Amino acid sequence: MLSGVIFSIGVLGVLYRRNILVVLMSLELMFNAANIALVALSRELHSLDPQIMVLFIMTVAAAEAAIGLSIVVAIFRNLKTVHVDELNQMQG
């Protein structure tokens, strides 16, 4: 329930905002919604597998945040903008 609501807020953020940083934050929201669903499932089914999966999701999310933010820094350095609609050229 809660995970569904937070996931759809994350989708809304990705679709609605044009700032690439806020889009990345909304991505983190969607990761977290999946984590809530998995922990609830783990409690419901008396199993630890979903919790292990949450640990791996957190690892991948940390890697994704590091890479994504360094891409943002590289984009900003070259183009001086983080506005998604202005990033429309394939070669700099």
Partner 1 sequence: MTSALFLLFGLAAIASALGVVFMRNPLMSALSLVGTLCSIAAIFVLYEAYLIAVFQVLLYAGAITVLFIFVVMVVQFSSQELKLPRLGVFKMLAFFLSLSLGSLIVWTWWSQSVTGKAGSHPLNAIVEEGGDVQALSQYLFSHYALPFEVASLILLIAIIGSVVLAQRPKKAPALSGGAVCIRHGV
- Alpha carbons within 13 angstroms on the beta-carbon side of residue 81 total 9
Residues 20-49 that bind partner 1 (CB under 8 A): 21-22, 24-26, 28-29, 32, 35-36, 39-49
Q: Is 88 in the site for partner 1 (CB under 8 A)?
A: no
Least separation in angstroms between residue 27's CB and partner 1 is: 11
For the four alpha carbons of 27, 29, 32 and 38, in that order, the dihedral sign comes to: negative
Pair 36, 3: CB distance under 8 Å: yes
Pattern 56-75, partner 1, x by CB under 8 A: x-xxxxxxxxxx-xxxxxx-
